[in-house]
């Protein structure tokens, strides 16, 4: 979005007001008895807060109602076991965003091939970059229309995302092969048919050097700050420059993930991945004072490498992209997939001494090959054995299914 400093400051005020509205609503929810926690009472409390607190008036009424709707949905997700209970939103750690729940007042107009104009409540007409085809004008009807929008701010500025309601035909069943995928750090995606997908560094050498220089500069300026002293403008500016580079790296990573998952979903009908609990994999190894951990620095580096790969986001993309093309995604248990030999089926100690090469220690086998390729074949083998995981009430259970071989055409 092309916002001047004045409009950007107004959007910031609306985002802070929306975050404050969420926190006030959370306080009200905790203080009220259970029989008084109704949407009607919450709506009345929001209306009263917008009248009593001046700075909440900068938030449009529709956006305030969207905060209530999102908060109630968060509790519903918690009760159904899909997420944790909602909590307060911190100023520095929460995403700055404003919802526009109704799309009828946006009045979207395409100026030319690259730019469009949109009407945002209490901001006016704003230009935005036209990157997707939107159902506007004659293209909009009852089945294809814009139902709302959302303003989101990151380190690179404010962006707008439109919610579109569209009617799509049910896809035909995908006729492609099955594939197992092993995720890793050195090789991000290794497929059971021998295909690998990798990437380089998200930042160039000059950008990495600049990021390192800025991080050292921020640490030096923070070191000379006295306890309780406010952060200087120079330090804030350094933090902003660091955030810009990290946001640029994240955009490049997401772009690679989109292109890679699109290619996989278009080629394969069944995609099988491991059911990884990433939160447990990136836990700290510091331990306690009585029992300190070992190799803490190495474990910290491994945790950062795992977080940079964003395996969960890749699996999420594969889930909806395979469904759009008539395919399916399945998860299988993760333990033992990298230690088992895909040729003989035995798990022998010492077969995975080298991280890159798998050598079976079974005297009757002796197979050797790429370790990631071996793990991906084991992932596919678990699915073909019927050991697929089905999510049920926030947990995964093993499903043993009898697979029927499809009939071949004669």
Answer whether residue 327 is part of any domain.
yes
Answer whether residue 252 is part of any domain.
no
Distance CA 227, CA 409 (A): 77
The confidence score (pLDDT) of residue 395 equals 42
Under DSSP, the state recorded for 127 is E
Active site residue 182: yes
Q: Are residues 118 and 189 in the same domain?
A: no
- Report yes or no: 232 and 223 within 8 Å, Cβ to Cβ: no
Q: Are residues 341 and 192 in the same domain?
A: yes
Distance CA 376, CA 381 (A): 9
Q: Are residues 281 and 149 in the same domain?
A: no
The confidence score (pLDDT) of residue 390 equals 60
The confidence score (pLDDT) of residue 368 equals 83
Q: Are residues 22 and 138 in the same domain?
A: yes
Active site residue 207: no
Q: Each residue's pLDDT tens digit in the chain (410 positions)?
A: 788 889 999 999 999 999 999 999 999 999 999 888 888 998 898 888 888 888 888 999 899 999 999 999 999 999 988 888 999 998 878 889 999 988 888 888 888 888 999 999 998 899 999 988 888 877 777 778 888 999 999 888 899 999 988 887 888 888 989 999 988 888 889 898 888 898 989 999 999 999 999 999 999 888 887 787 888 888 889 999 999 999 999 999 999 999 999 999 999 999 999 888 777 777 776 665 566 666 677 777 777 877 888 888 999 999 999 999 899 999 988 888 888 888 888 887 777 777 778 888 778 887 788 888 888 888 888 888 887 776 543 344 444 444 433 333 33
Q: Are residues 103 and 11 in the same domain?
A: yes
Which domain covers residue 341, as residue numbers?
176-200+259-410
Answer whether residue 248 is part of any domain.
no
The confidence score (pLDDT) of residue 321 equals 92
Q: Which residue has the tokens 């995928």?
A: 181
Q: Are residues 133 and 58 in the same domain?
A: yes
Nearest partner of 402 among 384, 382, 378, 380, judged by Cα: 384
Cα 120–Cα 126–Cα 130 angle in degrees, nearest 5: 105
Active site residue 274: yes
DSSP string, 42-58: HHHHHHHHHHHSGGGGG
Distance CA 63, CA 97 (A): 10
> How many domains, the chain?
2
Q: Are residues 122 and 189 in the same domain?
A: no
Q: Are residues 77 and 139 in the same domain?
A: yes
Catalytic residue among 54, 172, 201, 372: 372
Q: Are residues 109 and 188 in the same domain?
A: no
Catalytic residue among 4, 54, 229, 274: 274
- Report yes or no: 64 and 50 within 8 Å, Cβ to Cβ: yes
DSSP string, 129-195: E--S----GGG--SSSEEEEEEEEEETTEEEEEEEEE---PPPPPP-S-EEEEEE-SSSSEEETTS-
Nearest partner of 88 among 66, 71, 73, judged by Cα: 71
| Helices and strands counted in the chain (H then E) | 9, 15
DSSP string, 272-306: EEE---HHHHT----B-SSSB-SSHHHHHHHHHHH
Catalytic residue among 4, 143, 182, 255: 182
Answer whether residue 212 is part of any domain.
no
Q: Are residues 192 and 294 in the same domain?
A: yes
Answer whether residue 20 is part of any domain.
yes
Q: Are residues 317 and 186 in the same domain?
A: yes
- Report yes or no: 106 and 149 within 8 Å, Cβ to Cβ: yes
Looking at 145, 167, 189, the residue that finishes a domain is 167
Answer whether residue 351 is part of any domain.
yes
Q: Are residues 194 and 138 in the same domain?
A: no
Answer whether residue 254 is part of any domain.
no
The confidence score (pLDDT) of residue 391 equals 54
Answer whether residue 213 is part of any domain.
no
């Amino acid at each position: 979005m092309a916002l001047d400093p004045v409009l950007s400051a107004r959007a910031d005020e609306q985002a802070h007001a929306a975050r404050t509205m969420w926190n006030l609503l959370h306080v009200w929810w905790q203080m009220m008895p259970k029989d008084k926690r109704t949407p009607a009472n919450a709506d009345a409390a929001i209306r009263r807060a917008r009248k009593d607190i001046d700075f909440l008036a900068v938030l449009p009424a529709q956006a305030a109602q969207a905060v209530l709707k999102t908060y109630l949905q968060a509790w519903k997700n918690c009760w159904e076991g899909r997420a944790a209970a909602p909590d307060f939103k911190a100023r520095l750690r929460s995403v700055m965003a404003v919802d526009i729940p109704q799309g009828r007042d946006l009045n979207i107009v395409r100026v030319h091939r690259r730019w469009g104009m949109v009407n945002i409540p209490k901001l006016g007409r704003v230009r935005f970059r036209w990157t997707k085809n939107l159902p506007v004008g004659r293209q909009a009807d009852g089945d294809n229309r814009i139902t709302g929008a959302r303003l989101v701010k990151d380190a690179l500025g404010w962006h707008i995302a439109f919610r579109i309601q569209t009617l799509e035909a049910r896809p035909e069943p995908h006729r492609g092969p099955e594939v197992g995928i092993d995720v890793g750090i050195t090789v991000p995606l290794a497929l059971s048919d021998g295909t690998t997908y990798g990437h380089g560094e998200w930042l160039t050498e000059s950008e990495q050097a600049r990021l390192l220089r800025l991080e050292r500069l921020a640490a030096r300026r923070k070191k000379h700050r006295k306890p309780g002293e406010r952060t200087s403008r120079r330090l804030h500016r350094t933090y902003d420059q660091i955030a810009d580079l990290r946001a640029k790296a994240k955009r490049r990573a997401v772009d690679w993930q989109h292109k890679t998952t699109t290619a996989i979903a278009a080629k394969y009908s069944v995609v099988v991945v491991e059911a990884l609990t990433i939160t447990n994999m990136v836990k700290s190894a510091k331990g306690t004072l009585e029992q300190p951990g070992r190799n803490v620095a190495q474990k910290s580096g491994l945790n950062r490498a795992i977080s940079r790969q964003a395996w969960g986001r890749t699996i999420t993309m594969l889930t909806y992209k395979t469904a759009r093309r008539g395919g399916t995604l399945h998860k299988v248990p993760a333990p033992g997939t990298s230690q088992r030999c895909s040729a003989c089926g035995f798990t022998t100690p010492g077969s995975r001494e080298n991280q890159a090469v798998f050598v079976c220690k079974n005297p009757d086998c002796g197979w050797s090959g790429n370790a990631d390729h071996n793990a991906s074949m084991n992932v596919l083998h678990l699915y073909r054995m019927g050991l697929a995981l089905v999510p049920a009430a926030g947990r995964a259970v093993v499903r043993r299914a009898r697979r029927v071989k499809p009939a071949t055409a004669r």
